[in-house]
A and B are shown apart, each in its own frame.
Chain A
């Protein structure tokens, strides 16, 4: 008998089958995921998700008898009162009777439910969303460089001198050229002195002096360290993509913003966060709320505290500019900004906001998304195409080469399509 411990065998043997299954059920899974994300709070989206798909595309059909019609016989255990010839009222729709008939995998037409892991869910959720082309070009530019060791060189600055390599070269050269060792020369000197003291044969003394002389000359001709021994550490510059991003959430919190609008905005921000989180190793979020003045706040305050005041959009843009300058140098960070507003702005501020956006913010940003949230019921007005102050202002800034996109959102259902729209693959700008 053999006992084999298989517990340490590679896990996830069925992964390949699972991928095949998901690919097979793709259409339904994508639909299920979209439905689920429409219904749920955005925070939950980060978790795995139980999805239910119809068995349609993943049915495994086989020839089998239908459950109805014909004559069947069953043998069952547990008779208590029946005798031959008794009749039994037909149980309601099968009601647990009947052993062997029915579909072989016991599924019937039920929906098929299973759990998607967090990664799978997000993959499908954010599928075919991509940085717009325009932004991709920017990503290339914003690479920073770092130095990596790349072997040795014979030239370089003294600070990069590699002592070990240098000394190793020098030693081998000295051995190869038979440079007399200092210890040998000291010994010879000592011998000579003793011989002199003893008054040896002058012939022998001269010989020893000659030899010593030759040693001196040789060690002078063969330097301890020669320029050809010297080695320097070599460095190469390697472009390093920036793996961090910062996301600015700008929101108007003046009285005209209702809870509904804030909720819409929140959902949009969450989506953006999820999206960035998957592209960058670390994502910072900065929340800037504004009325007639702007302030950086924490998340809770941002979404839930109320504030009164007018609406001056440029303050938020200024605040963002300041924070970027202070904490997020643009060569180290990918900067994204999303602004949510109901579209109000002081008319006197419009020109200033547009200027700030064009000259100050957009050059910093990878992408600037403006979504205008509206109350659900005043669909009519927007449908008429009445544009708000801010919309009109930002429209003047829009240009084919600028990383800005604007969308209007009225209900929760629209958030995701709008988001997909903004970040859809193969689509430059808005």
Chain B
């Protein structure tokens, strides 16, 4: 059946951006970036972003967003470790962190789907409110350090297989089950999904729950990476994760543009930017944050232009000569500036 394969710019730009960033920093860092030590560090740094990005993708696919993942990571980490110490069985920090992350996610999902609170506003409120709780707990119990008996968890032979298994599970859920398929359908056209008979509320709750759960998983990786918890845990993390998702080429409106490989690509891109800037002598300071911002903006612009090009060339498809192209003209107008033809 497949007579022609249309290559969409929208899908290529993230690859080009990744390659450009990679080459740029490989050269400017004088090869430092490709050292075994640094590559390991890159992987380390991108792991948490990838894991949480995989969770957030379900939410973004539906056209919503979860900006509470950073603070959720902090709460889950702090609570998990505290629980481990409090019960005397430090291992229990793992289920405790996961349950905590899941609970926050479920609460988000419930508020968004049942009470129809816009996810953007809701998760910003959570971001502020929950941070307060984290600060309070952290102040109360002080900085927590993991016992050295758990240090082995941070060794690559343990950490990397675990990471891969979790990512594979997420890929499976998103690409090969109805949870992912329905999430994309909701992002494409929520009314259509509802009218077909898809349990929209349920799928929304599941998406936020997954996002929360992955924040819990992220908390585990962050805690064993750092060796403890602190007040600044997860600060700005939600932005990094969201940027990774969008940088990879997922549209803010979600839908069919949501693909899990894009999250991987975006996560590595953003990690390399941060890491690369540090390597070429701009440690994470004010100036490097500005450069980061500018780079992100450039890549996003490239993605947006690519998407627009694709939409326009949609007119060139064999059967789009009539109604199809007209609808394009109109929808573009509706989306772009609210003006009508």
Asked if A and B are interacting partners, one says no
